[in-house]
Chains A and B, each alone.
Chain A
Amino acid sequence: NAGVTQTPKFQVLKTGQSMTLQCAQDMNHNSMYWYRQDPGMGLRLIYYSASEGTTDKGEVPNGYNVSRLNKREFSLRLESAAPSQTSVYFCASSNFRTGRDEQYFGPGTRLTVT
Chain B
Amino acid sequence: GESVGLHLPTLSVQEGDNSIINCAYSNSASDYFIWYKQESGKGPQFIIDIRSNMDKRQGQRVTVLLNKTVKHLSLQIAATQPGDSAVYFCAENLNSGYALNFGKGTSLLVTP
Contacts and interface: CB of A to CB of B under 8 A. Distances in A.
Contacts of A50: 98
B83 interface: no
Contacts of A56: 98
Interface stretch (B13-21, B39-47, B71-79): B39-47
Main secondary structure of the interface of A (DSSP, over half): strand
Given A42-B89, A102-B49, A33 B43 contact: no
Contacts of B89: 42-43
Interface in A48-97: 48, 50, 56, 58, 90, 92, 94, 96
A101 B104 contact: no
A31 B44 contact: no
Contact of A42 (B34, B45, B93, B105): B105
Interface string B50-90: 00000000000000000000000000000000000000010
Contacts of A103: 34, 46, 100
B46 A41 contact: no
Interface residues of A, number: 26
Nearest to B107: A40
The B interface is mostly helix, strand or loop, or mixed, namely strand
Contacts of B104: 40-42
Contacts of B96: 96
Which of B43, B44, B98, B105 is the most central at the interface, judged by chain A CB atoms within 10 Å of its CB?
B43
Interface residues on B, range: 20 to 34
Contacts of B100: 43, 45, 101, 103
A31 B93 CA distance: 14
Nearest to B47: A102
Contact of B42 (A44, A45, A107): A107
Interface in B85-112: 89, 91, 93, 96-105
Given A42-B91, A43-B91, A108-B41, 16 more contacts: A31-B97, A42-B4, A43-B44, A43-B89, A43-B100, A43-B102, A44-B102, A48-B99, A56-B98, A90-B43, A101-B32, A101-B34, A102-B34, A103-B100, A105-B43, A107-B42
